[in-house]
Structure formats: C-alpha cells, structure tokens
Amino acid sequence: MASLRHRVRISALQILFEVDATDHPLDVVHERHREEDELTPDGERFLHRLVFGVWEHRSYLDGIIEEAAPNWPVTQMPGVDKAILRIALFELLIDESEQTPVKAVINEAVELSKHFGSDNSSRFVNGVLGTIVNRYAQDRYNEEL
C-alpha cells in the first residue's frame, strides 16, 4: 500500500495535469478527486495545499523550470513531466508548512515520472531537479545534500 503522501502526490499530479490540459475549473477537478480518493483529513489538507499552491505559483515555477532546462520550453514539455516538476519545486522552494527532505522530494518525483511519464521522464525530472536544487536551494538544503 502506497503511503498517504505518495497517494496525495499522485492525485495532485492527476488534477494538475487535467487542469493544465483542459479548461476544467481547478476547484471542480480538485473536489472530484478529493471525493474519489478517500483521503484522511491530513491527506486532504496536503492535497489542497499542493494543488492550489502549485497552481497559484505556476508562472514562477515554470520560469525556474525553463532556466534549468532551456532546451525544453514549458509550453512544449510533456504535461506529466511539467506537473511533476511543478509539484516537486513547490515542495522544495515555496511550501513552508512542511520541510520534506530534498532527497525524498526528488525520489518521489522520479518515481512518479517512472510510473506516469515516458521512458525518458525520470532522467529528465531528476536532472532538472538536481540543477534547480544546486542553483536555488543550496543555502536552504545545504545540510541535507
């Protein structure tokens, strides 16, 4: 059985992918997943924070992704990879409510990309996150690296 946080990240990935690929309203998609996924109250709070936090900060997150992967404009990036990177970067750079270890965030993102992405997704996601952690989060996470 997958951990609660893993299940929440899968749900967040699915929600963000759908909203980004369609014009479905975020709150409607979130509510549908929240009802279907049968999460604990802690899981629901984590899902809400991830989904709405990523969506609110997506322009900022996309700018960081484009700096780290200049040959892959975010607009041309596979939707799954983009959603996974946004979630991981939100956790690493923005979400102050929980300090998930850097390695755990990166490992989780790589696992999601292996399961939901293309054959090359996990290498791409790992490389982009490694570049970003080295560039942006060095001070914050120095003791963990």
CATH code, domain with 30: 1.10.940.10
Distance CA 67, CA 13 (A): 22
For the cut 50, the answer to whether the pLDDT of residue 145 exceeds it is no
| Residue 115 confidence (pLDDT) | 96
pLDDT digit string (tens) for 38-60?
899 999 999 999 999 999 999 99
pLDDT over 50 at 143, yes or no: no
What does DSSP assign to residue 90? I
* Count of Cβ atoms closer than 10 Å to residue 93 Cβ: 17
User: Are residues 90 and 56 in contact, defined by beta-carbon separation less than 8 angstroms?
Assistant: no
Lowest mean pLDDT among 46-50, 95-99, 105-109: 95-99
If one compares 91 and 144, the residue with the highest pLDDT of the two is 91
Least confident of 52-61, 89-98, 116-125: 89-98
Q: Is the pLDDT of residue 138 over 80?
A: no
Q: What is the distance between the alpha carbons of residues 126 and 54, in angstroms, rounded to a whole number?
A: 19
Number of domains the chain contains: 1
C-beta neighbour count of 37 within 10 angstroms: 16
Q: Which domain holds residue 41?
A: 4-141
Query: Over 110-124, what HEC string results?
Result: HHHHHHHCCCCHHHH
pLDDT at 141 over 70: no
